[in-house]
Chain A
Amino acid sequence: MSDQRNDYMFGLGVLKGLGLAFRHFLETYIDDIRHWGKRYKTPEGIAYRSSKDVKGIFTVQYPEEKLPVPEEFRFIPFLIYEEKDGMIEYRCTSCGICAKVCPPQCIWIVRSTDPNTGRPIPDPAEYYIDIDICMNCGYCAEYCPFDAIKMDHNYELASYSRINNIYDKAKLGKPLSYYASIRPINYQREENARKEAEAQKAARKSLA
């Protein structure tokens, strides 16, 4: 940095800048030769191009190449279900916290009621998310007390009609194994916490 206002350099500054651009240009080819055959369309090539050591070109050729998303990446929620004895069981209890905390109010839930007693039962009869309105803030997943709704990693959702963008319960549901695959660390932490809570509960029961 210099603050010498009157030092005319007669084009030297322009040449220096052009030199930098030229260096950048050359480095792309040097990198190509150094990583021959592994630079494009391979995971290590993509990782290299988004690392701090990258010189030369750093762009990724989407959609042939895709940057891996980090675990915390969030895009459009999904509902987790567990498969028990061939039955699909949603974790959601339709408590409505996600609908209350949703900033653009894009979650719609119909709570089931017992046809005999008229009392609510913890299972959503209908569950909609208008993904045109969803702003991917992640509050529903963050404040769900049952770990029933989580944010997805799939960001390729283009469709030809707006009607397709109102996701119902069937379209939102994804198995627990999918959640474990996209967010292994979070999954493990939540499982451990659940087991601990159950162990505590059992211990308290045996004491009583």
Chain B
Amino acid sequence: MSNQNIALETDLLYIFPEMLIHDERAGYEGYIIKAEYLLTFMLRIRDDFGYDYLSSITGVDYMPEGKMEVVYHIRKSTGGSPLVVKAQIERDNPVISSIVPIYPGAELQEREAWDLLGIKFEGHPDLRRILMWEGFSGHPLRKDWKEGYFEEDFKPFKSRWPVGHYKSAEDRNLLGTNIDYPAGFDPESWIPEPEVALYEGLGKVERKGEETGISTEQVIVNMGPQHPSTHGVFRMAVKLDGETIVGLKPVMGYLHRNHEKIGERNTYLAIMPYTDRLDYFNSMSNNFGYALAIEKLMGISPPERAEYIRIMMAELTRIVNHLALFGFLLNDLGAYFTPFLYAFEERELILDIFEAVSGSRMMCNYFRFGGVARDLPDGIVDKVKDLVFDRLPRKIDDLDLYITNNEIIRHRSEGVGIITPEQALAYSVVGPVLRASGVPYDLRRAQPYSIYNRFDFDVAVRYHGDVYDRYLVRLDEMFQSLRILKQVVNNLPEGPIQEGKPQYQVRVPAGESYGCVEGPKGELGFYVISNGKPNPWRYHVRAPSFINLTALESICIGNKIADVVVILGSIDIVLGETDR
């Protein structure tokens, strides 16, 4: 943290003496705010102090203390580390005011905290469950909640060793003893209730056409969950007036597996392969963010060579992601699979490198705390050089020639799905979508992590905020990634790749940390609370695909139904990360 920031934060305490106190628990940072002043405070720091961009909201269950805590990470769009503010409420009656009126980007995140932890946000416009289904009982991230097939609170389980006679989970615990059905409930004959709340959220369906004399009606169309354009199992309930969209609600959670609970049951090291499965196109970036969060807690940093390897992998991942996105986006536009396969050709070559380095093409699991898993095998640097200096620039130029000035694509994407910079910041949109709206915000520059401050590159930015600019910004970003990669492969130092000895039980001191990287989809953050035990007390993922969806409704309204597919494609979501 720079001196300037420290000065400012002492200022905050001085300015709001009646609202704030320092968070003085060991290893914690930021302020604790009295819950009743939350809205006043948020409004002041947004309008008077430039904290215009809400990064993340995390609910934490402090069961032993009988408290719930809501942690807000708020950033300035001009850069710097986030301001951490916490509000504590009673665990038995967790009610807090919603900050959606001030930061609309809080909408989905507050719904998530309600769903998983049961924190009620007063004044939230549409407080429904989001990842679990309506009718689910309980809040799964609470510490006293147990899942079906529950075995033990923490891994490693005692039944595995030294007396580990194999028994499958189903035999061990048939449907679990902790699953309750209401009296007289028969799962076979149960018919789910209609989603009244969801459709009510879309507003009333109106009859129109008085002027013309022709009676028309607005209709609600469900796109998804089984729809090829949604890139997975994602559903949009769309209210249409003719072909024009007048309302849209995203529905998600079909791929939910409670990643955070899995994380809290696991040891620190064992979470790493699970992070691969968040955004399965970019497992290297996911590893990176998680490794940074834990390294911050442990107070270690990787050796020089490991830093270079990490950045090499992270930038290759960015190129893979953007190439894959081009393929999918063009598919969404109707260019059936030819451009997709051209993009995937380069992706294959990069995945070959990942496979040789980490052992797996997609689920890399390559980063460790204080380094990387293994050194680069012989010949890999030459392969990367071939790609970076020869093949990739040539092929990305080809794609540029192929796509950028194609009239059909330009007519379909220019001026479609516009999001203004003010909207983008308010809705907490991150990554290429934010930069396409003219906000040059990139964590690699705004809050440099690892060794990004040593490299020469520009933050790609475009100004129209439409689908076409979101495409162009990614094209620019690939060229910037190539620039970074050129500097990395030319300066790759020799040396160790791991700080200290590799160990499977890491000692993580008590405290909290927020590690974040500029992933290919935007700010990917990991908020971890350690209480000194082998398992984290709280493990939260700030997923960019999830939070970018907050803006989906306001981007889509006024566009045609056929364009929703393209708009969703240009936001670039991966359901593994959205649903977690």
Chain A contacts to B: CB under 8 angstroms: 1-3, 5, 8-14, 16-17, 20-21, 24, 50, 52, 54, 58, 69-74, 94, 96-97, 99-103, 105, 107-111, 120, 126, 128, 130, 135-139, 142-143, 151, 166, 185
Contact = CB atoms under 8 A, between A and B. Distances in A.
Given A1-B400, A50-B352, A70-B355, A111 B161 contact: yes
A108 B352 contact: no
28 contacts: A1-B404, A1-B472, A1-B475, A3-B472, A14-B406, A16-B401, A16-B402, A20-B398, A50-B348, A58-B348, A70-B355, A72-B374, A73-B360, A99-B156, A101-B156, A103-B155, A103-B274, A105-B160, A108-B160, A109-B161, A109-B162, A110-B162, A111-B162, A120-B162, A126-B165, A135-B363, A136-B360, A137-B365
B278 to A, nearest CB: 14
Nearest to B405: A13
A120 B161 CA distance: 12
A140 to B, nearest CB: 10
B144 interface: no
B161 A100 contact: yes
Given A101-B504, A128-B164, 8 more contacts: A17-B401, A72-B357, A94-B162, A102-B156, A103-B273, A108-B161, A136-B360, A142-B502
Interface string B342-385: 10010011001001111110010100000001100100000100
Give the most central of B338, B342, B407, B414: most A CB within 10 Å: B407
Given A58-B348, A97-B504, A110 B163 contact: yes
Contacts of B401: 16-17, 20
B319 to A, nearest CB: 14
Given A5-B414, A21-B338, A108-B164, A74 B359 contact: yes
Nearest to A73: B359
B237 to A, nearest CB: 34
Interface residues of B, number: 60
Interface string B146-181: 000000000111011111111010000000000000
Nearest to B468: A5
A11 B475 CA distance: 22
A108 B504 contact: no
A96 B502 contact: no
Interface of B: 155-157, 159-166, 168, 266-267, 269-274, 338, 342, 345, 348-349, 352, 355-360, 363, 365, 373-374, 377, 383, 386-387, 390-391, 398, 400-408, 410, 414, 462, 472, 475-476, 502, 504
Contacts of B356: 70-72
A73 B355 contact: yes
Nearest to A129: B166
Contacts of A130: 166, 168
A101 B475 CA distance: 41
B351 to A, nearest CB: 10
A75 B235 CA distance: 34
A42 B387 CA distance: 24
A52 B391 contact: yes
Contacts of A99: 156, 160-161, 164
A12 B405 CA distance: 9
Contacts of A12: 405
A135 B402 contact: no
A139 B368 CA distance: 11
B342 A101 contact: no
B161 A9 contact: no
Contacts of A128: 164, 166
Contact of A14 (B161, B407, B414): B407
A71 B502 CA distance: 21
Contact of B165 (A13, A73, A108): A108
Contacts of B405: 2, 9, 12-13, 16
Nearest to B165: A110
A50 B166 contact: no
B407 A20 contact: no
A49 to B, nearest CB: 10
A139 B348 contact: no
B269 A139 contact: yes
Nearest to A132: B168
B164 A126 contact: yes
Nearest to B399: A20
Contacts of B408: 14
A113 B113 CA distance: 49
Contacts of B391: 52
A180 B525 CA distance: 41
Given A72-B377, A108-B165, A138 B359 contact: yes
B398 A69 contact: no
Contact of A100 (B156, B345, B386, B472): B156
Q: What 7 pairs between A and B have smallest CB-CB spacing? A: A108-B164, A103-B270, A96-B161, A137-B273, A111-B162, A13-B405, A74-B359
A168 to B, nearest CB: 8
Contacts of B383: 52
A112 B405 CA distance: 70
Contacts of B373: 138, 142
A202 B359 CA distance: 36
B312 to A, nearest CB: 16
B470 to A, nearest CB: 14
A128 B161 CA distance: 11
